[in-house]
Amino acid sequence: MKEGLDFETLLEGIMDTFTQLLRENPYESGLSQKQLKERLNNRGLLRNALRNCVYGDLQAKLFIKDSIRDILVKKYGFDNQKIQESIPFHDPFSLKAEEKFSILLYLYRREWGMYGLERLIQDYELDRPRFQEEGLRYYEITEEDIHRVYNEYPYLNLDFNDKLNILSQRIYERYKGNGAIDEIRDMRIDGVSAGVSGIPESFDIERAMEEGRDTKELPASYDSIWLFYHGKSIHLSFLGFRSYKELIRVCRNIYRYNNPEQLSAAKGYTVNEMKDGSRVAVARPPFCESWVLFVRKFDTVLQEDIHKLITDKNANLPISVMKWLIKGCQVTGITGEQGSGKTTLLMSLIGFIRPSYNLRVHELAFELHLRRIYPKRNIVTFRETADVSGQEGLDFAKKCDGTVSILGEVASNPVCCWLISMAQVASLFTLFTHHAKTTENLVISMRNALLLEGGFHDERAACRQVAEAIRFDVHMKKGMDGHRYIERISEIVAEGDSFSVREILRFQNGAYVRGEGFSKESIEAIRMHLEEKEELDFEEFIKEWKDEKMVPAASANSGA
């Protein structure tokens, strides 16, 4: 056995060992029938685990890591001394920042499970804002941050089993895992992306040198990893893939759960889900300037209690308004920029829908996973496939006893037309999300979609159709510090061939304040769907709103 097993040599040896295990012919080993059956079964398990571990199957990942541990001990004879040759645990000055991060994340995960990364960031304020210059705020975790945290962390006593687990993980992520983002992806975070900054491979280095630029200081795209955490986009500048080739490997593998269509140069992008329900989007040249991937996690929002989501002063105001919108069966859109919390809010609002109502959900990729949150509810989710169009899916859903229709994201003209159709005839009421910046933009966007895709030729008729179909807009906002809140709740009031917007409430100076409240027409429309006890509570809510609206604080200057 070669002495001085550095990490790269060890990695190559482990990969060769797995190849031999899969290629060996057990029939030539002189085994008994029982031993032969066991050997074949183990090889089948290994083959399946190697195939499934790359797209979020945690059990398959653990199986491969355990196999790596066995090889390290049984084949390479690793002990507490020999393991230092691959990772210098005994010498903090020789450890790289990424190795220290692996150790810290292992220790935090051992104590806090999937919340380990969140606790690590919170304990050492790694999500604090940074300033390149006055007025420019950004978020970054640097090598210096990781070295500092490692030096300050008081519980760094690792036994041999700990070191073996850490080394196994680092080998796994380079062999079959998702590279530098492998453990990060498993944590309770909003998401992670890679390849989204730095210099693409197509960058003309020779030309840059002729222009006198220092190309040594230019980061490569494969060194680009960004964490989406509590609404903040944080650059993990201390972390990266080993090469562009490794980034491509991860991009090619990470989206393959359930055998979707292949990512090719002809199409250039794909969107799919992973085994744990995360959404993964991958793009490649020539559609994109470099290989990139985006993983959006949704396990951070698997909760029913809306009071944990809306926490600013007077949070009872928007919660009460939305409760009556849902109980009153009003078509409601949740709007806002990406990452502002639309999906999170939509998940929690389901709790206000009567348990007797059947939910039919339509999504591009499975993201809401409402049956995980509400397993006793009658919920079915459909999505568009290569063979089933979105319109066909909606037509089928009309035959499936649906009471409430939910559109996970309205992002194209055809889907806008489907929404208007659903809101008018397909179900009792509809909930959806949209990226509109204002309520006016929401109506105009829907109107334009009807003109372009819905067969409308009269702008005024299309506008009237939208204003009569969509009644309310809950607009989400994300601050510079990542704080997410409801900026306003508005009512869309149809007025002939036009419309007006009635502001029910708004977020102002860190608190929610009352606006005009519901129109008389909406009060009557909501009341029609309430039970007797609910109607009494609703009347009390309306009366209290009118009384409190007379308080001067509610008419303060606009806001946040």
Q: What is the pLDDT of residue 39?
A: 83
State the angle between helix axes of 33-52 and 7-23 in degrees (0 to 180), rounded to the nearest 10.
Answer: 130
Report the distance separating Cα 402 and Cα 429, nearest Å: 10
Q: What is the pLDDT of residue 216?
A: 55
Report the distance separating Cα 438 and Cα 434, nearest Å: 10
CATH level 3 topology of 96-158+177-297: Beta-Lactamase (3.30.450)
Report the distance separating Cα 53 and Cα 175, nearest Å: 11
pLDDT category of residue 554 using cuts at 50, 70 and 90: very low
For the chain, what percent of residues have pLDDT higher than 90? 57
Q: Phi and psi for 409 in degrees, rounded to 5?
A: -160, 125
| 3-class secondary structure, 433 | strand
Chain center to CA of 31? 49
Q: Per residue in 191-206, pLDDT tens? A: 999 999 888 776 555 5
CA 1 vs CA 63, 71, 83, 221: distances in Å: 26, 13, 14, 37
CA 320 vs CA 188, 316, 424, 508: distances in Å: 29, 6, 25, 18
Looking at the chain, the domain(s) classified CATH 3.30.450.90 span 96-158+177-297
pTM: 0.78
For the chain, what percent of residues have pLDDT higher than 70? 91
Q: Rg for the chain (alpha carbons), in Å?
A: 27
Contacts of residue 10, Cβ cutoff 8 Å, sequence gap at least 6:
76, 86, 171
Burial of 352 (0-12, 13-18, 19+ CB in 10 A): middle
Considering the segment(s) 301-555 as one domain, its CATH architecture is: 3-Layer(aba) Sandwich (3.40)
Q: What is the DSSP string of 160-179?
A: HHHHHHHHHHHHHHHHTS-G
What counts of helices (H) and strands (E) characterise the chain? 19, 17
Residue 82, pLDDT > 50, answer: yes
CB 373 within 8 A of CB 353: no
| 3-class secondary structure, 551 | coil
CB 184 within 8 A of CB 227: yes
The one-letter amino acid code at 524 reads E
pLDDT category of residue 522 using cuts at 50, 70 and 90: very high
Q: What is the pLDDT of residue 557?
A: 37
